[in-house]
Amino acid sequence: MNINDISLPTLTILFFVIFISSTVQSTTSFGFNLIATPIFLIFFDPEQVIPILMPLTASVNIGIILLNSQIPEFKKSSILIFGGLIGIPIGIIILSKSHPDYLKISTGLIILTFAILTTTIPEKLNFKRNSIQDFIIGLGSGIFATSTSLSGPLIVLYLTNTNTPKAEFRRIISCFLLFIQIFSIITLIFAGYINLETLTLGVKLLPAIILPFFIAIKILKSINENLFKSIVLGIVIFSSISAIMSSLIPLI
């Protein structure tokens, strides 16, 4: 779809998706792209989705850090960040060389996999963090960031299963994503993927990321946490399958 030709109903759907994604991100420190990406892939090709969403998710992450007065955990994130920075240009190459439909299908399958793993893997597998594992996870997250916009799920699964305390978990996630997203944006600009069209759409959707900062807590208080997680998981699975099917149909 041409970004300039978006109809009002489609824009309304995208606005609502960003609102939900931002609400989830505001309450968990991750999950924005996990929800937004598969739905945006229904309307756009991957090389459009990533530059549209990357500045928005970076804005949400900065807002979370400022609103919660979080001090980014740079020391414990440094090797993760180093691996991520190396992975960013690799992701750009994958994005530029891959067929849009195949990349869309792959992204949908990756999101489905992460969603399933998040709900089926035991909360703690008692892995021990080390420099090699940090680098590999960071590298993979960096590659995913610029090839699929999914910079968060891999590191979330990793930290969840390495006995990382909750407060430290949020600080590491926020610090890592902040660096990866900023450098991804810079790289996408130089590669020509982020342009006036993508930024214009981003500005139109920007109000949808502001409101959740102030209402996320109230929403969580009024909705059972397990129900909330089930709703989010349902959205992720449904939208992933929809994105995959929308790419498969033209190939059949």
Taking the C-alpha atoms of residue 35 and residue 238, their distance in angstroms, rounded to an integer, is 10
Q: How confident is the model at residue 210 (pLDDT cuts 50, 70, 90)?
A: confident
Which tens digit of pLDDT belongs to each residue from 48-78?
A: 888 999 999 888 888 777 766 666 667 788 8
Nearest to 39 by CA among 114, 104, 99, 110: 104
Nearest to 156 by CA among 147, 168, 171, 169: 169
Higher pLDDT, 50 or 100: 50
Count of C-beta atoms within a 10 Å radius of residue 86: 14
- pLDDT over 60 at 229, yes or no: no
Domain count, the chain: 1
Tokens 């990321």 found at: 209
% of the chain at pLDDT higher than 90: 22
How many helices and strands (H and E) does the chain possess?
12, 0
Compute φ and ψ for 140, nearest 5 degrees: -60, -40
Domain that holds residue 215: 3-251
Taking the C-alpha atoms of residue 116 and residue 119, their distance in angstroms, rounded to an integer, is 5
| Tokens coding 123 | 């909360």
